[in-house]
Chains A and B, each alone.
Chain A
Amino acid sequence: MSGSISGKAAIVGIGQSAFGRFLPDSQLGLGAQALRAALDDAGLQRSDIDGLSLHMGWPLGADYDRMAEVYGLEVNYVNQAWTHGRFVTSALQHAAMAIATGMATVVACITAICFTRERHILGGPGDQEGMREQGATHGENPVFGLTSPAAGAAFAMQRYMALHGATSAELAAVPIALRQHARLNPQALMQKPLTLEDHQSARMIVDPLRLFDCSLVTDGAVVVLLTGADRARDLRRLPVRITGMQGIRSGRDEFIFAPPNLGINQQPTARVTPRERDLVAYRMAGLDRDAIQGFYTYDAFSPLVLFALERFGFCGPGEAARWVQGGRIAPGGELPVNTSGGLLSEAHVCGWNSIAEMVRQLRGEAGPRQIPDARCLQWGTCWGDSVILQR
């Protein structure tokens, strides 16, 4: 594709802090550990970083200027959203775009979060998002007792179950598979086997979501370093190229935590199979969905995994709950999903733990959970954005 950004930027370094609960370090302290590790991994100096692309900042986590000040960075390019899963992909994409357009040469994506100290923002009186003038994104409505993004995922799953005959026991296949992946990852916080009985007997958080359908609440940091493809070839590690990408889908047929046209909030109701505009990441990368060897997604709640699989056409609308049965997304399955354990079983580093895992997989460094000869992996979310990574 002439003029395409495909292949122009590459991930050349990854680093992470310890993951845990109630860690003694500050958020910036965890970020410093991860940044050091990423620079060592890439063989780059701190002074090489001239750009920051962050999906985090007020009201949760440090803003770019505090990071630059505390870490002694001097940058010429900044992109910052705020801490929200929906801005993970665009943070990575903006890093690639800044490099491709020459606005920066080495961009750091820094995510450092202590959810255990900041959990009030995830629901309750501290849910400032839910009380904004325009209201929140996930169907929150504190006036009626609805707070926390979990409410939106629950609304979507309840309707999905009613329309398609899916069950909570089928949904359990998602957290169970991710736990199986986590058990092959020593960094993952959840190492105990998870059974269907465990899932079904766990307490309800917001019906139909049970405890194991909701992400962990943890502390940790991940840093991803990107540079141009030419420079990447001269660095220490095998470059992982960004070959395809597409942005967030938004409009009246979308709800952040649902497939298109499920009928949540003001979505119309219709069966939607992926349209051409839903699949441009594959086109940009010059490949078909069949080439994807592993799928990575923002699994804040287990239904989001189902909706993402449908969004990109791995199965038809309404079919995902059955499609994920039988170990299909588990280790050794046809389409392994979130092989480090994801937000459900590794740690909640806002999805960047999965981005780092994709890089390890493509380098062939994933140990017992290695996808054989991994060459092409996809990050794609249930709100429709995506990045395709290749070695």
Chain B
Amino acid sequence: MMDPNSLTSKPLPRLTPDNTPFWEACRRHELMLPWCAACDRAHWPPGPVCPFCFGMRVEWRRASGRGRISSWVVVHQEWLPAFKSELPYNAVQVELEEGVRLTGNVVGVPNGALKVGLPVEVVFDDVTETATLPRFQPMGTEAASPAKDA
């Protein structure tokens, strides 16, 4: 894993015992969510137990990858030097059909077209040889996957 405090490289996911299945699935271009085997609900963030019933049997299941933007922002301030060339760039929270909200970026749409409620679907971006990030694109976008997802 790259140094998260590096001035020149983008931060990469920090794998933990709770979230490793999510990031490993992303490398396979699959969106997986933690589900409680007892009460049959997805939850986020990944944790050691189900936050609803406190069940200990958490399973990982493939998610639809479809959802809607529940909120969005556009970053104008230069905070992370590695993102400077992309300013202004968006970040969104997406409510998946499974009911959880993930944070990510939307590709394939100008920032001016972002809006709460916009239907999106997941795409995968292999940012390094060992890390893949889930991003989102407007639902039904043709061949709009990031170049690295060719």
Contacts and interface: CB of A to CB of B under 8 A. Distances in A.
Given A131-B4, A131-B11, A159-B70, A124 B79 contact: yes
B108 interface: no
A302 to B, nearest CB: 15
B77 A205 contact: yes
Dominant SS among interface residues on chain B: loop
Interface stretch (A8-16, A145-153, A235-243, A304-312): A145-153
A143 B51 contact: no
Nearest to A265: B101
A204 interface: yes
Contact of B80 (A124, A139, A162, A204): A124
A44 B45 CA distance: 49
A206 B75 contact: yes
Given A135-B45, A148-B79, A155 B93 contact: yes
Chain B interface residue bracket vs A: 35 or more
Interface string B79-94: 1110100101101010
B93 A145 contact: no
B104 interface: yes
Contacts of B100: 266
A154 interface: yes
A150 B77 contact: yes
Interface string B111-131: 100011100000000000000
B73 interface: yes
Contacts of B88: 204, 207
Nearest to B104: A144
A61 B23 CA distance: 35
A134 to B, nearest CB: 8
A18 B89 CA distance: 38
B75 A151 contact: yes
A194 to B, nearest CB: 20
Given A125-B7, A159-B71, A144 B103 contact: yes
Interface stretch (B12-20, B27-35, B56-64, B137-145): B12-20
A204 B76 contact: yes
B76 A143 contact: no
Most chain A C-beta atoms within 10 Å of own C-beta, residue among B6, B79, B88: B79
A391 B71 CA distance: 43
Contacts, number: 112
Given A125-B6, A131-B14, A204-B88, A158 B72 contact: yes
A263 B4 contact: no
A247 interface: no
A205 B75 CA distance: 7
A158 B5 CA distance: 29
B5 A126 contact: yes
A144 B133 contact: yes
B75 A264 contact: no
B66 interface: no
Interface in A134-188: 134-135, 139, 141-148, 150-151, 154-156, 158-159, 162-163
A123 B103 contact: no
B77 A265 contact: no
A203 interface: yes
B105 A144 contact: yes
Interface in A86-134: 123-128, 131, 133-134
Contacts of A124: 79-81
B75 A263 contact: no
29 contacts: A124-B80, A124-B81, A125-B6, A125-B81, A127-B79, A128-B5, A134-B16, A139-B93, A142-B11, A142-B80, A143-B10, A144-B133, A145-B83, A145-B89, A145-B105, A146-B73, A146-B75, A147-B79, A150-B77, A151-B73, A158-B73, A159-B116, A204-B76, A252-B51, A264-B70, A265-B101, A266-B43, A266-B44, A266-B101
Interface of B: 4-7, 10-14, 16, 43-45, 51, 70-77, 79-81, 83, 86, 88-89, 91, 93, 95, 100-101, 103-105, 111, 115-117, 133
